[in-house]
Amino acid sequence: MTNETPVTSPAPVALIAGISGGIGSDVARRLSAAGWNVAGYARNLEKLAALQSELPSLHTITADATDAVAVEAAVQSTVARFGRIDAYVHAVGSILIKPAHLTKLDEWKRVIDLNLNSAFYGLKSAVVPMQSQGGGSIVLISSVAAQAGLPNHEAIAAAKGGVNGLVLAAAASYANKNIRINAVAPGLVDTPLAAGLLASDQARELSAKMHPLGKVGRPANIASLIAWMLSPDADWVTGQIWSVDGGMAHVRPRPKL
């Protein structure tokens, strides 16, 4: 969707999977404003075009994050365009709230594919150019569901628990290559993905009450941390799962009297 002419620039380069989503697009705006060269891939052509009209310098790629070949091609396209990849952000995922006995096998497989397999494909492809260029930073998206026992979250908790394990193992594997690998574990964030869970005032109020701070998250809460993790200020941080969830995973507030 963009000019394929290679760009010669000293600015760092980021590739964002799911760049058209609520969190991915916020990260793209922040990095672009900070002077990064930003590339991103997603499936929806209309959303990609809308974001590119807002950020004309974006290098956008149409690709399905669950297709390993397409993900590798997106990485190669970014390297061909900018000469390197300094950061990879995997802002791809889904929400399924069902107990195990009501979860259909195709739903289970889709959750694993979207949340765990896609993260592995992105990491696997991104570390290749990063190793040859002397390092980089990778941020995956986990979930509060992988850290707290939430009812009816079996599939997503299993998938995001796998992401946590992937982060820890890969951080150990690539530390000697100066590749930092971390994850952010959000609670419920007000994005288009969560629109069905926040469709009414009553639903929004109930969701807010699940979080000790009494509100759902904003994309900026997640994107600002991701932008910091990609920055030089975080060059001593790897193998971490950062909770950004209004306290849901670890805080048990006093009951209101």
From the list 139, 131, 103, 102, the residue with the least C-alpha distance to 17 is: 139
pLDDT confidence of 144, banded at 50, 70, 90?
very high
- 198: its two tokens: 């926040």
pTM of the complete model beyond 0.85: yes
pLDDT confidence of 108, banded at 50, 70, 90?
very high
**Other C-beta atoms within 10 Å of 76: how many?**
15
Q: Which domains occur in the chain, in start order? A: 13-189+219-243 (3.40.50.720)
Total residues belonging to the chain: 257
Q: How far is CA 233 from the centre of its chain?
A: 20
Q: What is the pLDDT of residue 19?
A: 98
67 class by beta-carbon count within 10 Å (0-12 exposed, 13-18 middle, 19+ buried) = middle
Q: What is the pLDDT of residue 257?
A: 64
State how far the Cα of 241 lies from the Cα of 145, in Å rounded to an integer. Answer: 13
User: Residue 141 above 70 pLDDT?
Assistant: yes
234 class by beta-carbon count within 10 Å (0-12 exposed, 13-18 middle, 19+ buried) = middle
Q: Which residues are CB-neighbours of 231 under 8 A, at least 6 positions away?
A: none
User: Residue 239 above 80 pLDDT?
Assistant: yes
Sheet of 59-62, strands arranged across: 59-62, 37-42, 13-17, 87-90, 136-141, 179-186, 241-244
pLDDT confidence of 99, banded at 50, 70, 90?
very high
pLDDT confidence of 110, banded at 50, 70, 90?
very high
User: Residue 1 above 80 pLDDT?
Assistant: no
Tell me if 66 sits within 8 A of 113, measured CB to CB: yes
User: Residue 3 above 60 pLDDT?
Assistant: no
DSSP assignment of 86-104, as one string?
SEEEE-------B-GGG--
Q: What percent of the chain has pLDDT over 70?
A: 97
State how far the Cα of 201 lies from the Cα of 163, in Å rounded to an integer. Answer: 32
State how far the Cα of 187 lies from the Cα of 217, in Å rounded to an integer. Answer: 7
State how far the Cα of 63 lies from the Cα of 61, in Å rounded to an integer. Answer: 6
Residue predicted with more confidence, 195 or 126: 126
Choice among 61-65, 98-102, 245-249 with the minimum mean pLDDT:
245-249
Over the stretch 49-76, which tens digit does the pLDDT of each residue have? Answer: 999 999 999 999 999 999 999 999 999 9
Specify the long-range contacts of residues 67-71, CB closer than 8 Å, at least 24 apart.
Answer: 67/121, 68/121, 68/124, 68/125, 70/41, 71/17, 71/41, 71/118, 71/121, 71/122, 71/125
State how far the Cα of 200 lies from the Cα of 165, in Å rounded to an integer. Answer: 35
- 86: its two tokens: 């300094």
Q: Which residues are CB-neighbours of 6 under 8 A, at least 6 positions away?
A: 80, 81, 82, 83
